[in-house]
Amino acid sequence: MKFYHATTMANALQIVEDGVIRAHFGEVFFCKAPLDACKFLLLRGLRRVGVFEVELDEKNVEESFDHNERFFGCKAYIHKGDVLLSGSEELRQYDFDL
């Protein structure tokens, strides 16, 4: 299933170079839509966001309950541990005028 991970563009370029989305505190966060993933960075005031489209096995992903679904208007998901990339993942850049 496709999931979307948002990060800063600087981090996105490092992810492309390393070929891995590194887990922070043991987890990588995802959403099921690219713009939903952006919401978590927009809240921090970021205007340029990189979003990876990643194919993950649903059995390795679980819903995260540390984000308020009603506030964000979407669910968040976690993958435990690093996510290795195949090299075919799409990276999109989103620019927001806040």
Helix (H), strand (E), coil (C) string for 32-80: CCHHHHHHHHHCCCCCEEEEEEEECCHHHEEEECCCCHHHHCCCEEEEE
What pLDDT is recorded for position 98? Answer: 65
Q: Residue 57: its pLDDT value, please?
A: 95
As a whole number of angstroms, the distance between CA 58 and CA 14 comes to 26
**pLDDT (0 to 100) of residue 66:** 87
pLDDT 10s digits, 5-64: 999 999 999 999 999 999 999 999 999 999 999 999 999 999 999 999 999 999 999 999
**CATH class, 2-95 region:** alpha beta
Per-domain boundaries in the chain: 2-95
Pairing of β 61-64 and β 76-80: antiparallel
Residue listed under structure tokens 């435990």: 80
Considering the entire predicted model, what is its pTM?
0.94
